[in-house]
């Protein structure tokens, strides 16, 4: 038997490792744990993790809510629960937080949030954790949903209606720092209702957040934006509304949904940031004032409609149509006496996905074919606030037919999958004058990329399974950065060959016993047009390769005690001069140091559960001439603790302590940019928050 304490950990998120479950006990005589967790992101169809042939991680709603007691952002939650995911930036940005060393595609219910034409690195934080039902992470390049996923994808699944005619809940939470209880005081309120009757179902969920200031371990106030212009988590107001309505009858199901998330930062401490010093370990400090012309924040709307028929061509058919409108206003900064213009990105995406899951009527070999077509239209532009943006307006039209074959072999001891996706991308770019005054002639860029994949899993016995495969992903690369400040680009047609295709390989072994599970996965990926930056912050496109190892383990010591953890190690290098030799390490904004996570969970009674978890981030000293590869990354260790008390089935109290040992540390990204030789530590060397306490109370009706 396996306790919920072990399952809720998800410190395995898994390359087919177990994920959380909400029942207190699971009976393996009826089903394995892996069979009970169903994912959709890896194959486009609902598949038990036990049958997946690629590395998939799952963080359930219960685990998201528990982790959100001590982690402010989705990026923080994933860094502590998913192997292969880089250490958190302790900021709203996911810049510098990679998946297996590369950018990833973020979706909400399959709707793309990542701005591939001009990445603002805010996609993970375009929804509140209060609206999340499950997070699925595919680790490694994938074309399952396509249009940009070289490192993998993160599919945020929103909450689903509960069974019964009417269900409702109210939740209230507070969070504060002992340094200054008043200035740091934060609160959350949430209300939701859902139900199902006579085939109709609905859900409504809303939340409001007011976040105060944060303070370092030594009591210093942190800047509201702790990594200049990337978006901080202090002095934030935010609301989220999720609504769903649908009807299900026999073979047909129809659902429409809307999610609206908006946050804005209104701070009295948005003045000049300075005073950081890496040699003396002084954190950069904010000053009173407000440099911003316009209030920074994000306004994100996602509309989604899905029709499903499970009796077409002997299989199922799903048609999804969606719309996403995102505007992100960045903060204004002053650095070395120069005040940078404020700007905002605006992106509107509309698209459809048609997916058929068709079994082949062949008795000798069970074969299943998933096939269909994806269509995406994306309009992206940068809106000027203080002056000209130096960036063009983009419009992308993407078409991608695909087909994937799955076969069960050797009496279902083995599973083999393989397929192809053909992406045809057309990008229209307007005429413009860039930031250095160069007139650039616009035009249309066309990319045609066939993307292949093959993977398989084989059960060696009832305990051990070996799995592995090859997959490809494609992204347009940082077109905006290439065009923004280069005097050499006078015609956009020169970028026709600048797309980035990634080849990804993995091989692993997983094992599952009655009270334990473990896995080890090795991976390698390479690309010809990897993106890095030199010391002048000019973009560099060059061949690069990344490799690493991911390990997970969970053990149910007793009925009441569970332990487990993960290990992530990776390294990467690139070819600086195109001579075929990889001669420089990739910087630490791409390659995170060694990451170890561990937890102990104790459930002494049915109504009480205690958890202690830790994250160790190791040292890294890259040998590189690029901008973010100059600094040695120092190690740090942080510990969180939380407890849940269910007084009855209808009410629960959750308590949390973030950074319980009050560790004095600087996140990896801030360290990598704190280049002492250039004086950048004066601005970027910002310590993470010290100890904070939280409490949350939930009542159900």
For 165-191, write each residue's pLDDT tens digit: 999 999 999 999 999 999 999 999 999
SS3 of residue 637 by DSSP: strand
Angle formed at CA 45 by CA 315 and CA 53, multiple of 5 degrees? 120
Pair 109, 419: CB distance under 8 Å: no
Rounded-to-integer distance, Cα 587 and Cα 568, Å: 17
Per the model's pLDDT, the better-predicted residue between 395 and 411 turns out to be 395
> Which pLDDT score, from 0 to 100, does residue 47 have?
63
Instruction: Tell me the CB-side half-sphere exposure of residue 648, using CA atoms within 13 A.
Output: 4
Q: Report pLDDT for 29.
A: 32
DSSP track, 195-231: EEETTEEEEEEEEEEEE---B-TTSPBPPSSSSTTS-
Instruction: Summarize the confidence of residues 628-634 as an average pLDDT.
Output: 84
Q: 408-437: per-residue pLDDT in tens?
A: 888 889 999 999 999 999 999 888 888 777
If DSSP states are collapsed to H, E and C, what string results for 542-566? Answer: EEEEEEEEEEEEEEECCCCEEEEEE
Please report which confidence band the pLDDT of residue 653 belongs to, taking 50, 70 and 90 as the band edges. Answer: very high
pLDDT classification of 442: cutoffs 50, 70, 90: confident
Confidence of residue 197 (pLDDT cuts 50, 70, 90): very high
- pLDDT tens readout for residues 79-110: 999 999 999 999 888 988 999 999 999 999 99
The boundaries of the domain holding residue 240 are 2-700
pLDDT tens digits, 329-370: 999 999 888 888 898 999 999 999 999 999 987 777 788 899
Indicate if the pLDDT at residue 2 is higher than 60. no
| Model pLDDT, residue 16 | 33
Q: Give the pLDDT of residue 332.
A: 92
* Cα(177)–Cα(216) distance, integer angstroms: 10
Instruction: Give me the pLDDT at residue 31, please.
Output: 35
83/15 Cα distance (integer angstroms): 9
Split at pLDDT 50, 70, 90, the class of 498 is low
Q: What is the pTM of this model?
A: 0.91
Residue 453 has pLDDT above 80, yes or no: yes
Query: 10 Å Cβ neighbour count for 169?
Result: 18
pLDDT in the model for residue 40: 61
**Cβ–Cβ < 8 Å for 458, 413:** yes
Question: What span, in angstroms and rounded, lies between the C-alpha atoms of 320 and 254?
Answer: 10
The model's pLDDT over 127-166, given as tens digits with 9 standing for 90+, comes to 999 999 999 999 988 777 778 888 899 999 999 998 889 9
Burial class (CB in 10 A: 0-12, 13-18, 19+), 472: buried
Q: Residue 175 half-sphere exposure, CB side, CA atoms within 13 Å?
A: 27
Q: Which helix (H) or strand (E) holds 674?
A: none
Nearest to 630 by CA among 531, 529, 534: 534
Query: 188 - beta bridge partners?
Result: 173, 209
Q: What is the distance of C-alpha 273 from the center of its chain?
A: 28
Give the DSSP per-residue string, 402-440.
EEEEEEEETTTTEEEEEEEEEEEEEEEE--EE-TTS-EE
Q: Exposed, middle or buried by CB within 10 Å (0-12, 13-18, 19+), for 362? A: exposed
Task: State the Cα–Cα distance between residues 495 and 485, nearest whole angstrom.
Answer: 14
Structural domains of the chain, count: 1
**Averaged pLDDT for residues 205-234:** 93
Asked whether the predicted pLDDT for residue 34 surpasses 60, the reply is no
Report in angstroms the alpha-carbon separations of 281 from 22, 286, 588. 44, 16, 19
* pLDDT over 90 percentage in the chain: 65
For residue 503 the two structure tokens come to 């080849």
| Owner of token pair 């809720």 | 8
pLDDT at 7: 31
Q: Please check whether residue 475 is in contact with residue 539, taking contact to mean a CB–CB distance below 8 angstroms.
A: no
- pLDDT value of position 384: 87
Round to whole Å and give the CA distance between 479 and 231: 22
pLDDT band at 588 (very low <50, low <70, confident <90, very high): very high
* Sign of CA pseudo-dihedral 468, 86, 642, 73: negative
| Across 445-472, average pLDDT | 93
The answer to whether 13 touches 83, Cβ cutoff 8 Å, is: yes
Alpha carbon distance 59, 137 (integer Å): 8
CATH number for the domain spanning 213: value is 2.40.170.20
Quote the mean pLDDT of the chain: 87
């Amino acid at each position: 038997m396996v306790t919920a304490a072990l399952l809720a950990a998800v410190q395995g998120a898994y390359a087919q490792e177990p994920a959380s479950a909400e029942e207190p006990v699971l009976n393996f005589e009826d089903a394995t744990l892996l069979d009970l967790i169903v994912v959709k992101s890896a194959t486009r169809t609902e598949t038990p993790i036990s049958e997946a042939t690629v590395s998939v991680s799952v963080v359930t709603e219960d685990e998201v809510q528990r982790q959100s007691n001590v982690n402010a952002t989705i990026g923080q939650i994933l860094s502590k629960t998913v192997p292969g995911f880089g250490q958190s930036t302790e900021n709203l940005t996911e810049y510098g937080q990679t998946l297996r060393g590369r950018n990833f595609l973020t979706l909400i219910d399959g709707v793309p949030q990542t701005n591939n034409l001009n990445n603002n690195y805010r996609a993970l934080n375009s929804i509140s954790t209060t609206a999340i039902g499950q997070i699925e992470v595919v680790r490694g390049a994938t074309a399952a949903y396509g249009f940009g996923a070289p490192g993998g994808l993160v599919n945020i699944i929103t909450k689903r209606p509960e069974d019964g005619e009417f269900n409702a809940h109210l939740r209230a939470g507070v969070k504060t720092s002992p340094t200054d209880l008043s200035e740091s005081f934060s609160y959350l309120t949430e209300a939701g209702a859902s139900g199902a009757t006579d085939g109709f179902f609905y859900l409504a969920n809303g939340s409001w957040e007011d976040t105060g200031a944060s303070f370092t371990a030594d009591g210093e106030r942190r800047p509201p934006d702790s990594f200049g212009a990337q978006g901080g988590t202090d002095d934030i107001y935010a609301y989220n509304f999720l609504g769903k309505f649908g009807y299900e009858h026999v073979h047909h199901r129809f659902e429409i949904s809307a999610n609206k998330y908006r946050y804005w930062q209104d701070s009295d401490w948005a003045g000049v940031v300075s005073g950081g010093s890496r040699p003396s370990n002084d954190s950069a400090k904010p000053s009173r004032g407000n440099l911003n012309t316009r209030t920074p924040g994000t306004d994100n709307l996602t509309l989604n409609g899905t029709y499903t028929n499970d009796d077409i061509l002997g299989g199922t058919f799903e048609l999804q149509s969606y719309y996403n409108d995102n505007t992100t206003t960045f903060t204004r900064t002053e650095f070395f006496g120069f005040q940078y213009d404020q700007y905002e990105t605006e992106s509107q995406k509309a698209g459809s996905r048609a997916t058929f899951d068709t079994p082949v009527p062949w008795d000798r070999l069970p074969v299943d074919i998933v096939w269909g077509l994806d269509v995406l239209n994306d309009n992206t532009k940068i809106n000027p606030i203080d002056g000209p943006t130096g960036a063009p307006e983009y419009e992308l039209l993407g078409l991608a037919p695909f087909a994937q074959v799955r076969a069960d072999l050797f009496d279902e001891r083995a599973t083999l999958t393989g397929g192809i996706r053909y992406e045809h991308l057309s990008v229209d770019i307007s005429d413009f004058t860039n930031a250095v005054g160069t007139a650039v002639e616009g035009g249309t860029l066309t990319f045609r990329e066939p993307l292949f994949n093959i993977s398989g899993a084989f059960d060696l016995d009832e305990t051990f399974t070996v799995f592995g495969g090859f997959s490809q992903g494609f992204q347009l690369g940082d077109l905006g950065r290439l065009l923004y400040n280069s005097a050499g680009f006078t015609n956009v047609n020169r970028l026709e060959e600048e797309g980035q295709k990634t080849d990804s390989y993995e091989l692993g072994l997983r094992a599952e016993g009655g009270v334990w599970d473990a896995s080890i996965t090795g991976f390698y990926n390479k690309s010809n047009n990897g993106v890095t930056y030199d010391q002048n912050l000019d973009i560099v496109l060059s061949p690069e390769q990344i490799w690493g190892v991911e390990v997970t383990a969970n053990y149910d010591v007793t009925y009441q005690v569970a332990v487990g953890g993960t290990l992530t190690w990776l390294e990467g290098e690139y070819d600086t001069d195109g001579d075929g030799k990889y001669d420089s390490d990739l910087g630490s904004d791409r390659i995170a140091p060694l990451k170890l996570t561990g937890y102990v969970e104790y459930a002494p009674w049915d109504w009480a559960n205690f958890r202690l978890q830790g994250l160790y981030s190791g040292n890294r000293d890259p040998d590189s001439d690029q901008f973010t590869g100059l600094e040695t990354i120092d190690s740090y260790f942080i510990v969180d603790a939380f407890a849940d008390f269910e007084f009855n089935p209808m009410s629960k109290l959750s308590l949390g302590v973030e950074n319980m040992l009050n560790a004095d540390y600087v996140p990896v990204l801030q360290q990598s940019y704190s280049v002492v030789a250039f004086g950048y530590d004066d601005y970027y060397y910002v310590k993470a928050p010290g100890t904070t306490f939280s409490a949350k109370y939930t009542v159900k009706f």
